[in-house]
Every structure is written in C-alpha cells, then in structure tokens.
Amino acid sequence: MYDIEKFYQAADVEDAVRALQEDPQGVVISGGSDVLIKIREGKLAGCNLVSIHGIKELEGISMDEEGAILIGPGTTFSHITNNKIIQTHIPILGDAVDMAGGPQLRNIGTVGGNVCNGVTSADSASSLCCLDAILVLKGPEGVREVPISRWYTGPGKTVRDHAEVLTSIKIKRESYEGFGGHYIKYGKRNAMEIATLGCAVMVKLTEDKKHVEELRLGYGVAAPTPIRCRETEKAVKGMEIGEALAEAVGKGALEEVNPRSSWRASKEFRLQLVEELGRRALKDAVIKAGGEWDD
Ligand SMILES: Cc1cc2nc3c(=O)[nH]c(=O)nc-3n(C[C@H](O)[C@H](O)[C@H](O)COP(=O)(O)OP(=O)(O)OC[C@H]3O[C@@H](n4cnc5c(N)ncnc54)[C@H](O)[C@@H]3O)c2cc1C
C-alpha cells in the first residue's frame, strides 16, 4: 500500500504551480518511478501529490526556428530514444536513457523526473551536462532558465523552488551541431541497475578530422552531483587524435573527480572506471564525430 494523504491531478502547468504554491507539502509526481518508491520506503510517506502526468504541453520533442531542441520533461525515456530529432541530432541522449532500468521503467520514467530528482547516477545527467542543457522552469514569479551547470546543489538537490515546474529542456544548436558523442554506463549487470559510474564525451573535430576543436567530458557518480571536467576540456583543445589525447582525458579527469565508496563500489574502483571509461567514451565519440582511431 502507498501512504498518500492527498492526490491532485493538475489540469495544466499553471494549475500545478498554483496547487504547489497553495500546499507547502505538495510533491510533484510525473511518471512516479522515483516518488512512489520513496513513498513506499517511508521517505515521502503521507505526502500530498500534485500530478503533472498526462499534461500534453509537457510532452514531446520539437525544434524551434533557431535549431534549438526542446524536450518536454514529461517525455518518457522510450519516446526520447525513438524520436527522430533525438536520433538525428543528439543520439547520445537517446542512447543514455535507453540504458535506464528495463522496458517497463523506460515506458513510465520521464527525462524531467530524471533531471529533477537531482541524483548523480541519473542516466541522462552526464549527457545533458555535455549538451549544456538549459532547464526552463515555470513558477509563481514567471518563467526562468537555468543552465544545467548551475542546476545541482548537492546529492538529490537542485535550485528548483518548491512551486516551480520544469517545463522544458532546451539544447541550443551550437551546443550539439558538429559534435559526436558517446555515453558509457558501468553497472554490475546490464538491466535494472543504477550506474556505478557514467561517462559522456562529446567532441567536435577540426576540418581535417585529426585534432580536437572542442571536447566536453561529463561524469555521473564521480562526485556528489553530475560534473563536467572543465580543466581537462581546456587542456586537450587542439590535441591530435590518438593515445596522448586518451591519456590526457583519462588522467585529467582523475584530477577533477571526487567519487566516494558505497556498497556498489569502492572509491578506488570508481577512480579506475573514471579513467578507463573516459578513454573508451572518447574513442567512440571521435569515431562518431567522423574521425579515425587506430588502436
Ligand atoms: C526499478 C527502477 C529502476 C530504475 N533504473 C534507473 C536507471 O537505470 N537509471 C536512472 O537514471 N534512473 C533509474 N530509475 C529512477 C527513475 O526511474 C528515473 O529517475 C526517472 O527518470 C524518474 O522519472 P519519473 O517521471 O518517474 O519521476 P517521478 O518519480 O515522477 O519524479 C522524480 C522527481 O522529480 C520531480 N519532478 C518530476 N517531473 C518534474 C517536473 N516536470 N517539474 C518539477 N519536478 C518534477 C518529482 O517531484 C520527484 O522529486 C529507476 C527506478 C526504478 C523504480
């Protein structure tokens, strides 16, 4: 049984904002795959739910006239993976969310829930960090945009105010055009497993496809929040594709991460994964960006 005090189905985003504003105990529920688990575990027992499930303006993926990709937070993982815009322009995100849970989970879990839960192991997080996603929120004061680099404030914590609803995840054209990207999730098994470590690399190559024009390196579970390794990104700019680059990415990342030991893995093992997954994701990202990689 689920211990729920009240359940309110919002008619639209404004109605959800109003309901949250009126109820300091109100908790947004979208797909419910995090919230319902927390209710059952007792962490959210007796809560008042404000459901945004089924609100059409929160679902679907489109591209605006400037080429920005707009992802409705209520879009499920499976719809993201199967969407043409995602497959054509940012397949890294479709691939990343396709690694979450199992088929049932991917049909109910939403990308907005994955962003709003604020957890470092969220499978969409390191790719969205590399894509410089902008999170659009609507609250009692109106609409505001938060770059994902300023979203996470601690484990399970974000800058979202109580009465704000995430209404869109925006990825500007310059954040994805010309990049190849690859995400690797390491877990003890392939399905129904939260990441022990996640690593996303996006790379844009020079015209001759032999050097790095720009590289983005993101990790999940390598720190209390999802992170980008910005010093390493700067250091490898202009480097030639090859072993020295892989070394610079792997070793550079080690200087910027701060993983912890948990029952899933020790800090030492996670550090090993940081280096190795960084190297492997780099190689695949380079190939996807049109470059060659000789082993
Ligand atoms: C069996 C199982 C396996 C799982 N495996 C994985 C996995 O492999 N990888 C992974 O990343 N996750 C996994 N998860 C976690 C979960 O499925 C995901 O985090 C999912 O994206 C949550 O989406 P949801 O719509 O179900 O979120 P909900 O449970 O509805 O909400 C999650 C949080 O986000 C808030 N929220 C949701 N939408 C909005 C919005 N638009 N505006 C404001 N706040 C909002 C809610 O208040 C809540 O705090 C798993 C969960 C289960 C139960």
Ligand 1 centre and the CA of 31: distance in Å?
A: 7
Q: Is 113 in the pocket of ligand 1 (CB under 6 A)?
A: yes
Percent of the chain residues past pLDDT 90, beyond the cut:
95
| Distances in whole angstroms, Cα of residue 65 to Cα of each of 80, 175, 185, 219 | 20, 15, 34, 31
Average pLDDT, integer, range 152-177:
98
Q: Is 39 in the pocket of ligand 1 (CB under 6 A)?
A: no
The pLDDT of residue 13 is 98
Confidence label for 2 from pLDDT (cuts 50, 70 and 90):
confident
The pLDDT of residue 31 is 98
Ligand 1 centre and the CA of 113: distance in Å?
A: 4
Confidence label for 134 from pLDDT (cuts 50, 70 and 90):
very high
Confidence label for 151 from pLDDT (cuts 50, 70 and 90):
very high
CA-proximal residue: ligand 1, atom 46 (nearest):
28
To test the pocket of ligand 1, the residue of 116, 127, 162 to mutate (highest count of ligand atoms within 8 Å of its CB) is 116
Q: Is 30 in the pocket of ligand 1 (CB under 6 A)?
A: yes
- Please determine, for residue 1, whether its predicted confidence score (pLDDT) is greater than 90: no
Q: Is 165 in the pocket of ligand 1 (CB under 6 A)?
A: yes
CA-proximal residue: ligand 1, atom 22 (nearest):
113
Stronger pLDDT, 117 or 263, i.e. the higher one: 117
Give the pLDDT confidence of 54-112 residue by residue, as tens digits: 999 999 999 999 999 999 999 999 999 999 999 999 999 999 999 999 999 999 999 99
The pLDDT of residue 188 is 80
Q: Which tokens belong to 225?
A: 């929040």
Cα separation, 168 vs 59, whole angstroms: 9
The pLDDT of residue 286 is 98
The pLDDT of residue 226 is 98
Ligand 1 closest atom vs CA 122: 11
For strands 180-186 and 165-171, give the pairing: unpaired
Smallest CA-to-CA distance from 38 within 8, 28, 55 is with 28
CA-proximal residue: ligand 1, atom 50 (nearest):
101
Q: Is 13 in the pocket of ligand 1 (CB under 6 A)?
A: no
The pLDDT of residue 293 is 93
Beta bridge mates, 143:
138
Q: Is 76 in the pocket of ligand 1 (CB under 6 A)?
A: no
Is 3.30.465.10 the CATH number for 56-174?
yes
Q: Is 278 in the pocket of ligand 1 (CB under 6 A)?
A: no
Specify whether the CB–CB gap between 47 and 23 falls below 8 A.
Answer: no
Cα separation, 259 vs 270, whole angstroms: 7
Give the pLDDT confidence of 223-271 residue by residue, as tens digits: 999 999 999 999 999 999 999 999 999 999 999 999 999 989 999 999 9
CA-proximal residue: ligand 1, atom 8 (nearest):
100
Q: Is 28 in the pocket of ligand 1 (CB under 6 A)?
A: yes
- Domain regions of the chain by residue span: 4-51, 56-174, 178-288
CA-proximal residue: ligand 1, atom 38 (nearest):
113
Integer distance in angstroms from the first to the last C-alpha of the chain? 54
pTM: 0.97
Q: Which tokens belong to 71?
A: 């992802």
CA-proximal residue: ligand 1, atom 36 (nearest):
113
- Please determine, for residue 128, whether its predicted confidence score (pLDDT) is greater than 90: yes
Average pLDDT, integer, range 17-35:
97
Angular region, 103: left φ>0, alpha ψ -120 to 50, beta rest = alpha
CATH number for domain 178-288, candidates 3.30.2020.10, 3.30.390.50, 2.60.40.10, 1.10.10.10 = 3.30.390.50
Ligand 1 closest atom vs CA 99: 8
The pLDDT of residue 294 is 84
Q: Is 158 in the pocket of ligand 1 (CB under 6 A)?
A: no
The pLDDT of residue 295 is 77
Average pLDDT, integer, range 214-228:
98
Q: Which CATH class is domain 4-51?
A: alpha beta
Give the pLDDT confidence of 175-213 residue by residue, as tens digits: 999 999 999 999 987 777 889 999 999 999 999 999 999
The pLDDT of residue 19 is 98
Q: Please, what is the average pLDDT of the chain?
A: 96
